Structure 1
């Protein structure tokens, strides 16, 4: 939910930290119905695809009920489990604001929901992407600590001018990460679990590369923001993901300053290749309208 290029302070109606009231009582039945449609479609698809940590979090937070969840209600359980809370924001927020929220165990979420004719693609993250996609993983203590550490690392990356590299870590883990389990590859990234089409593409398509996670390699790899991913990075466990944040990134940033980016679909000799993709989807030009979140 972060974006650079902001100038000035928060928009009218927002507090100094860019938070706003969710306004749950103002949602229409049509908006609740969109949530229910999306929720039922994804929960029917995700067993056997999403990781256990996500599915347990989904159960713990009871995100279905009668429609769009009330942040006050889900925050009670989230606070009890990991000390996190969800705060409503008017849309994308400045990077420093985003990192401050994460560093203090607050997840900024949009409070609007897509229209009924936008179920499969939306440019800006909405409440379904932010809450259904991100928040269940925040019930897992290890992942919750990783997210806080990422926020703290983001504050430092801003001061060192290395935000572009750190943003790639977020993209290829929090948004579009896969995890290797005894039962096979599973999804934990919010951009995948909240999208029907990418939930299918990420695990089933022969097009993308699937590579073992390596921090420096990830930070050298650009990403697609407007279509299916050309590469997914696979972690061996949530614990291993948390471990990468316990190191000092300064020496890594120094090396990256003199290293060129890798091609988004490139495979190098040091990669642990899980799947060599055909890149057929990207070579055909993609189909943005069906790309999912």
Structure 2
């Protein structure tokens, strides 16, 4: 599954919700047996795949939340558990929401989650984030105080970035951390990004495939780097530890935006002379895809 490039496209055919904050009732009692069955299929196959791939914090968060494989989680129960641990809650939205709404929720420790679930024929690809991506992928990491504080700080920073007209640069930081980030742990590289954790295919590709670059995280480098919204990432950025994210929460981004605006943007597969390269990718996957499209 891939996310839209922006946090905020319109909420689809439903149009603008009645509430100003775009929240809706989850309607948990209205999920069908088929919808719970899709959750079960996705949940069980990821739980079999992620041991040895997901970071310790993700595994711990899953354990503390005690999600049930047999049914889509009730946001009310999740919020009760999260509130006790890190002060977060999960609120239902109909799909992608406008940027300012998204940031306002995060800044106030509310995680907006799509309440719909993909169809059985969409198990491996979905354009919009659904309840499996948002809840299975994101919520376990919100149990961790570092991630909980970082995502709140991102919400505050997003509101500021909108005012400065530099949102694309900040969005890249979110993309390459919260959505598609890797972290170095004692046992080796592990994933923590929700876009990977909720994807059966990318959770293998990001760690095992020789094609992508795996590069040490450097903030300005990431802010300059475009990303893929239509396929696996060509480069993944690796934290030395999750605590690095808290350092970002204390940085004054204004001078960074100024410096980055004077530098050229980088394409997703670029490797620079100054990069701390953990794995130099072969690029074979994306090159083969491009060649097949050109035929």
- Is the counterpart of residue 3 in structure 1 residue 3 in structure 2? no
Q: Deviation digits for residues 171-226 of structure 1, max 9, x if unmatched?
A: 00000000001100000000000011000000000000000000000000000001
- Is the counterpart of residue 69 in structure 1 residue 73 in structure 2? yes
Report matched runs for 1:98-177 at 5 Å.
98-177=102-181
Query: Which of 226, 231, 236 lines up with 2:230 in the alignment?
Result: 226
Query: CA 1:248–1:13 in structure 2 vs 1: closer, same or farther (change >3 Å)?
Result: closer
1:222–1:262 Cα contact (<8 Å) kept: yes
Report matched runs for 1:173-252 at 5 Å.
173-252=177-256
Q: How far 1:66 moved relative to its partner?
A: 3.0
Secondary structure at the counterpart of residue 120 of structure 1 = coil
- How many residues of Structure 1 are paired with residues of Structure 2 in the alignment? 285
Query: CA 1:155–1:12 in structure 2 vs 1: closer, same or farther (change >3 Å)?
Result: closer
1:176–1:190 Cα contact (<8 Å) kept: yes
Gaps of 5+ in 2: none
- RMSD, aligned α-carbons: 1.6
- Is the counterpart of residue 54 in structure 1 residue 63 in structure 2? no
2:227–2:267 Cα contact (<8 Å) kept: no
Q: Deviation digits for residues 60-118 of structure 1, max 9, x if unmatched?
A: 11112531000011111110000000000011000000000000000000000001111
Flag as ranges the 4+ runs of structure 1 deviating above 2 A.
1-7, 10-14
Query: CA 1:4–1:70 in structure 2 vs 1: closer, same or farther (change >3 Å)?
Result: closer
Secondary structure at the counterpart of residue 234 of structure 1 = strand
Gaps of 5+ in 1: 288-293
Secondary structure at the counterpart of residue 3 of structure 1 = coil
Q: Distance in 2 between matches of 1:223 and 1:13?
A: 30
Q: Name the residue aligned to 1:290.
A: none
- Is the counterpart of residue 274 in structure 1 residue 275 in structure 2? no
2:182–2:192 Cα contact (<8 Å) kept: yes
- Is the counterpart of residue 38 in structure 1 residue 42 in structure 2? yes
Q: Distance in 2 between matches of 1:114 and 1:241?
A: 31
2:88–2:110 Cα contact (<8 Å) kept: yes
Q: Name the residue aligned to 2:287.
A: 283
1:14–1:90 Cα contact (<8 Å) kept: no
Q: How far 1:4 moved relative to its partner?
A: 4.4
Query: CA 1:159–1:6 in structure 2 vs 1: closer, same or farther (change >3 Å)?
Result: farther
